[in-house]
């Protein structure tokens, strides 16, 4: 078949020569029998894992020396596409002579990189990256059987991008530290979403519980609220409201209006402007002016006014009276 012929929707040239070779000539294909393991004094582990998204499945055989937890022999059988065969073959090879704990450190990215012809060119097209994820998952399954624990207990983080093995907490941290604002920037920094793209938004190769677009919006909203809270805290200063200077008092009131009052008013086409703050003995008169739809609203001198006053009293812990000018 020519290099530019199609394989499952991808071009031959998108597969490394190592992948193509391992598709046709897997080195570690086969099985290990109990008789063979018993004769060597080793423990046999047989683990099965299937990918619901594509119907592929892999069976992993480990022959383990229980004295050192070292994998002395590693074989596989794969029921799926050529990429699944190549990935499983490399995965089985990477496990050899490693302890079970060290084998658990092998990620799907390690498998994919081991299949590359050169370090900078992916071994498979993005939509086939899930095949190496399956190889990673079957390692976890085998290790859980050997350790006699639940497979889920070996996964300590929520993985939002299976292809790049990027956790939700990592994406959140990267967004915050680098002030990212787009999914493309997340991909540049973490590789999440760079391969099959299922984790970016609904409608991709696989259905996800959490998508990058939603996570980005969530973190940006959290950061915005945190910034507003910082402004309020900064505006209040170290003293009480009645001990602040006029500028600090105005900033404190503006911050509260911006966070708690204006969003509701703007949703109905209105707004409020802070005109002045005047102190009369132990009472602070806060002068406001309505804007937009609030100017003609029948509740601007009753319910709305009382709501603004109650919020300022609660947040400032001060005797405040709001007045319309």
Q: How far apart are CA 8 and CA 83, in angstroms?
A: 10
For the beta carbon of residue 99, count every other beta carbon within 10 angstroms: 15
Respond yes or no: is residue 294 known to be catalytic: no
Q: What is residue 177's predicted lDDT score, i.e. its pLDDT?
A: 80
Query: Is 59 part of a structural domain of the chain?
Result: yes
Establish if 266 belongs to a structural domain. Answer: yes
Residue recorded with tokens 């970016």: 200
List Cα–Cα distances, 246 to 241, 243, 284, in angstroms.
10, 9, 11
Whether 178 and 108 share a structural domain: no
User: With the C-alpha atoms ordered 213, 215, 216, 221, is the resulting torsion angle positive or negative?
Assistant: positive
What is the Cα–Cα distance from 191 to 168, expressed in whole angstroms? 13
Q: Give the pair of three-digit tokens for residue 231.
A: 């402004």
Residue 41 lies in a domain: yes
Q: What is the CATH number of the domain that holds 25?
A: 3.90.1010.10
Task: Give the residue from 234, 251, 267 where a domain finishes.
Answer: 234
Buried/exposed 265-301: b ≥16 CB within 10 Å, e otherwise = beeeebbbeeeebeeeeeebebebebeeebeebeebe
Measured distance CA(212)–CA(199) in Å, rounded: 6
Residues 130, 10 share a domain: yes
85/30 same-domain check: yes
- CA-nearest of 195, 190, 193 to 213 is 193
* Whether 200 and 251 share a structural domain: no
Averages of pLDDT over each 10 residues, the chain, 325 residues: 40 85 95 96 94 76 97 92 91 97 87 90 77 81 94 78 82 86 89 87 88 95 80 57 87 91 91 94 93 91 92 90 95
175 and 197 share a domain?
yes
**Domain-terminating residue out of 186, 213, 234:** 234
Catalytic residue among 54, 95, 199, 294: 54
Report the CATH number that the domain containing residue 245 is assigned in CATH: 3.30.300.130
pLDDT value for 156: 66
Same domain as 115, residue 45? yes
Render pLDDT for 299-313 as a digit per residue (tens, 0 to 9).
Answer: 899 989 999 999 999
Asked whether the beta carbons of 232 and 255 are under 8 A apart, the reply is: yes
Whether residues 250 and 207 fall in one domain: no
Catalytic choice (81, 95, 131, 196): 131
Interval 204-237: pLDDT, tens:
878 889 999 999 999 998 998 787 667 666 655 4
Contact indicator for 291, 274 with CB cutoff of 8 Å: no
The answer to whether residues 23 and 150 belong to one domain is: yes
- What integer pLDDT is reported at residue 188 of this predicted model? 83
The answer to whether residues 71 and 136 belong to one domain is yes
Number of domains within the chain: 3
Identify whether 161 is a catalytic site residue: no
DSSP annotation of 194: S
Query: The domain containing residue 198 runs over which residues?
Result: 158-234
Cα angle 82, 88, 90 (rounded to 5 degrees) comes to 105
Same domain, 10 and 126: yes
Q: For residues 147 and 126, what is the distance between their CA atoms, to the nearest angstrom?
A: 33
Asked if residue 13 and residue 150 are part of one domain, the reply reads: yes
Does 200 share its domain with 278?
no
- The predicted pLDDT at position 51 comes to 66
Q: Which pLDDT value is given to residue 308? A: 94
Instruction: Answer with the one of 192, 209, 234 that is the final residue of a domain.
Output: 234
Any alpha helices (H) in the chain, and if so which ranges?
17-24, 34-40, 82-95, 100-103, 108-114, 130-147, 168-178, 183-190, 212-236, 246-256, 262-267, 303-316
């Amino acid at each position: 078949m020519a290099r530019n012929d199609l394989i499952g929707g991808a071009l031959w040239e998108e597969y490394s020569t190592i992948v193509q070779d391992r598709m046709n000539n897997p080195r570690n294909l086969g099985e290990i029998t109990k008789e063979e393991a018993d004769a060597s004094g080793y423990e046999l582990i047989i683990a099965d894992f299937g990918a619901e998204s594509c119907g592929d499945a892999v069976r992993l055989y480990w022959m383990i020396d229980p004295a050192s937890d070292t994998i002395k022999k590693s074989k596989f059988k794969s029921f799926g596409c050529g990429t699944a065969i190549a990935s499983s073959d490399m995965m089985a090879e990477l496990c050899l002579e490693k302890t079970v704990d060290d084998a658990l450190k092998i990620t799907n990215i390690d498998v994919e990189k081991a299949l590359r012809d050169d370090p900078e060119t992916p071994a498979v097209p993005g939509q086939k990256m899930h095949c190496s994820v399956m190889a990673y998952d079957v390692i976890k399954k085998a290790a859980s059987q050997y350790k006699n624990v639940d497979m889920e207990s070996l996964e300590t983080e929520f993985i939002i991008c299976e292809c790049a093995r990027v956790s939700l907490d990592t994406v959140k941290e990267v967004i915050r530290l680098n002030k990212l604002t787009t999914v493309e920037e997340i991909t540049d920094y973490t590789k999440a979403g760079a391969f099959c793209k299922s984790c970016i938004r609904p409608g991709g190769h696989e259905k996800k519980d959490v998508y990058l677009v939603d996570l980005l919006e969530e973190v940006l909203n959290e950061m915005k609220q945190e910034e507003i809270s910082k402004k309020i805290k900064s505006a209040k200063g170290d003293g009480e409201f009645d001990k602040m200077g006029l500028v600090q008092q105005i900033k404190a009131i503006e911050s509260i209006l911006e966070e708690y009052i204006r969003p509701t008013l703007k949703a109905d086409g209105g707004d409020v402007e802070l005109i002045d703050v005047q102190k009369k003995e132990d009472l602070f008169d806060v002068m406001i002016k309505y804007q937009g739809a609030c100017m003609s609203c029948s509740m601007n001198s009753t319910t709305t006014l009382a709501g603004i006053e109650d919020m300022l009293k609660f947040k400032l812990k001060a005797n405040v009276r709001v007045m319309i000018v």
